[in-house]
Structures are given as structure tokens and as C-alpha cells.
Amino acid sequence: MPAAGALAQGPHAPAAGFRYGAPVTVYRTRFAPSPTGQMHLGHARTHLVAWLRARDAGGRVLMRIEDLDRPRVVEGAAEGLLRDHEWLGLDWDEGPLRQSTRSARYEEALDVLRAAGRAYPCTCSRKDIAQAASAPHDREPVYPGTCREGPTQPWRPRAWRFRVEDADRRGFEDGVLGAVPPPAPDAMGDFVLRRADGLFAYQLAVTVDDADEGVTEVVRGADLVASTPRQLALYRALGLRAPAFAHVALAVDGQGRRLAKRDGAQSIASLRAAGVSPERILGALACSLGLTASAAPVSLAELRGRLDLSRLPPGPARLALAG
Ligand code: GLU
């Protein structure tokens, strides 16, 4: 077997600049649940989309447990999430990778940003610093830049923030939502990379993980759409290749309320305990995604080949399991 690269040096070496074509990239997506509570119908719905994307493309699904926000991690929740995915048939090919084991890698990335002048220490004591380890569903408070020129209270423990430049406020093309406009300056301020207590922030960790795991498409709930320009700015600053993004509009219950973890009645574990079958849950999810005309029970195998991202409902869809 010739050594790798031997062909390129042989008599038929390509002319400089010649490319054989795009590198073969296998589709890779991930489930990235936070073990802060139980899996509910909304998560299952988004993960069904991710799973179908991967299976229809002959690609791979990675499981990542986003357990960075230690104070909010619930004992046993990670095991429950894994069990619920398995029970629904939403299987994965790699992982679970636990973010709590990855601090050294996040530190390396932070070093790169520090060396490039893109990270600065911040001594402000603000609620947003305290919350930075969790994914900011919907809006995150905007930082006014107080410590940009140097820590204003140098005796205090320091967080690290990303220095956002005007060029970072860019829109992007979303697989479900289409063209997402650039964020307004007052919607994307310097965000936290590492909190003063040493915990790495969601934005940095998720970017490093998605890049290291070779994720080619991130499929997640539309409540994280405002995080994407931040993550795209980090990919550029770190010199990493960004994946595609697809944000699935959230589901609402029969009363039009957003499905939330605290709504225990709609957790997968409670539905399962009440004797509801995976096929009935999949039927309700598929119908709310417009994949089937009715919410009749359906198997994952029957849903293969039916998903077209660009035809998913762009706004909230009703999802309820009639008793
Ligand atoms: N861990 C986040 C959550 O459970 C998801 C983050 C992501 O998909 O980027 O909400």
C-alpha cells in the first residue's frame, strides 16, 4: 500500500492549485441535551428532525451531554435522557461525550482567542456572567463593554469575554428559517467565554465541541437562533470550519403555551409511565412537523425519506397528545 500522499508526488501529480473536488464529507449532526431536567416532547421533536436528517443522508448522530452548568445539573438526568432517546428509537452512533470532561480543550481555545486579542478579562458582577454556562434560550442581556479597555475592578475575580467586532454581526442562511438577518448592535454584545468562577460558557464550549466532533449540521430549537451569530464569530476567530444550522420552530401545547421542561406532564418519561407507546409519540411529533397528515401512530422507519427541512413549519406548531 503506498504511503498517504505518494500519489500526489508521483508522475501524475496534479498541477499546483488543482483540486480533485470537494472533500467527501459525511453528514454528522448531534443531540446536545442539558441534563437539567427531563426530556420533553419539544426536545424529542427537534431530535426527531436531527435523526431523520442523519439517517436519510446515511450520516451519523453524535450524543453530547451538555453538563457544563454544574449547579443546574440534576442528578440522574443524563441517564434519563439517554434512556428516553433509546426508548423512542432515536439512536446515536458516537458518544455520549460529556462537556464536563473537556475543560482542557476549551482552555486551549480561550488561549487562542486571548493571543489574538479577541478575549478580554471582565470583573463586572452581573447576572449574565452567572448565567453564561447555560444555553441562552431566547434573549441574553447585552453587555455594555465596561471592561473592554481593562478590568474596572481589578481586585475581583475575572470572567473572560469575547470582543465582538462590527464584522461579527452577520446574518446567516438557515436550513429551516431561510435568510436570518444580522443581529442589531444592541442584540449582540461582548459575550462571556468563561465565567469568573472558572466555568466555561455555553457559546465557547458548543463551538469547540461541534468543530472537534466534525459536526456538519446543527439542528436545534429556534430559541437558540440568536446564539448562532455568536458561534459563527467564534468559528471565524478560531479559524474553524462552521457547520450548517437548522433551527426548528418550537412546538406549543393545546393552550398555545411553549413546551417547557417544568411541564412534567409532557415529559417522555411520564408519557411512557402512563402507557403511551413510542409510535404514538412519534405520530404526534410527525404530524406537528407536517410529515404526516394525522397524528396516528407511526414508526421511525415509516418516517424515513419524508423530511424536507425547507418545508418545516417556520412558526410555532401545535403539539398535544390527546389522552
Ligand atoms: N444544551 C442545549 C439545550 O439543551 C442545546 C445547545 C445546542 O443545541 O446548541 O438546550
Question: Is 135 a member of any domain?
Answer: yes
pTM over 0.85: yes
pLDDT in tens, 210-261: 999 999 999 999 999 999 999 999 999 999 999 999 999 988 877 777 776 5
> Do 261 and 40 touch, CB atoms closer than 8 A?
yes
Question: 33: Cβ below 6 Å to ligand 1?
Answer: yes
Task: Tell which of 143, 173, 205 closes a domain.
Answer: 205
Residue 148 falls within a domain, yes or no? Answer: yes
User: What is the extent of the structural domain holding 173?
Assistant: 104-205
214 in a domain, yes or no? Answer: no
In a shared domain, residues 79 and 111: no
Give the position, in ligand 1's atom list, of the atom nearest the Cα of 227. Answer: 9
8-state DSSP, 152: S
Going by C-alpha positions, the residue among 188, 191, 183, 231 that lies closest to residue 211 is 231
Q: Are residues 118 and 96 in the same domain?
A: no
DSSP secondary structure, 180-195, as one string = EPPPPGGG--PPEEE-
- Compute CA 15 distance to the chain's CA centroid, rounded to the nearest angstrom: 40
Q: How far is the CA of 38 from the centre of ligand 1 (A)?
A: 14
Q: What is the 3-state secondary structure (H, E, C) of 204-216?
A: HHHHHHHHHCCCC
Are the C-beta atoms of 108 and 101 separated by less than 8 Å?
no
34 lines ligand 1 (CB under 6 A): yes
CA of 43 to the centre of ligand 1 (A): 10
d(CA 215, CA 258): 28
**Tens-of-pLDDT digits for all 323 residues of the chain?**
444 433 444 445 445 555 555 555 799 999 999 999 999 999 999 999 999 999 999 999 999 999 999 999 999 999 999 999 999 999 999 999 999 999 999 999 999 999 999 999 999 986 656 666 677 876 677 888 889 999 988 999 999 999 999 999 999 999 999 999 999 878 899 999 999 999 999 999 999 999 999 999 999 999 999 999 999 999 999 999 999 999 999 888 777 777 765 555 589 999 999 999 999 999 999 999 999 999 999 999 999 999 999 999 888 888 877 65
| 144 domain-assigned | yes
